[in-house]
Amino acid sequence: MLPEMTFVLGGAASGKSQVAECMIINSGLSPIYLATARVWDDEVDAKVILHRTRRGPEWHTIDAPIDVATPLGLATSSQAVLLDCATMWLTNVILAERDVAQAQADLLTALAACAAPVVVVSNEVGQGIVPENALARKFREAQGRLNIALAAQSDCTVHVVAGLARTLKGTAP
C-alpha cells in the first residue's frame, strides 16, 4: 500500500523514475502520470518517448508543466499519481518568472489535499559544484529548498543511486 505521499530523490539518470513507476504499478491503483517536462529539443523528445514506451498504455498521462494543482485536485482514491518530476516543474516555474515561494507553497498544499496517494520524483542537485551563473545558482538554491520541503511533508522518502533505492524516512512501499 502506498503512503499518502512518497518522495523519490536521486541524481540525473539514477533510476529514480523507474523506482517510482514500480511503486505506482505495485499499488494496484489506476496509474496517473503528471508529466512536467516541456519538449524543447530532440533530446528531450527522445527521453519523453522512452519514458512513455517504458510505462505502457495502462498509464494515463497528463501534461502539467506548471499547473499540477488542478490534476492533483481531480485525482481520486482509486488512482495513484506519479509527479515526474519536481525538478522540471521548478525549472518551468522559474523560467516563467513566477513567484517561486508561492508556487512551492501551492504545490505543497495541493499534494496534502490530494485524495490519491502521490509519488513525487525530484533531482538532488546540491552535491555538485557551485554554478558559475546567477540563474543556475538561483535554481540550485530553490531546488534544495523544494526538496527539503517535499521530504519534510512526505510519509516516505527514498534516495536512489545507480538504480538502488534506500529508504531515508518511513516505510517504502
- Report, as residue numbers or ranges, the catalytic residues: 51
Residue at 142: amino acid letter: A
Cα–chain center distance at 45:
18
N-term to C-term CA, the chain: 6
Q: How far apart are CA 126 and CA 128, in angstroms?
A: 6
List of long-range contacts for 13-17, beta carbons under 8 Å, 24+ apart? 14/160, 14/161, 14/162, 14/163, 15/160, 15/162, 15/163, 15/164, 16/85, 16/121, 16/123, 16/160, 17/51, 17/84, 17/85, 17/121
Helices (H) and strands (E) in the chain, counts: 6, 7
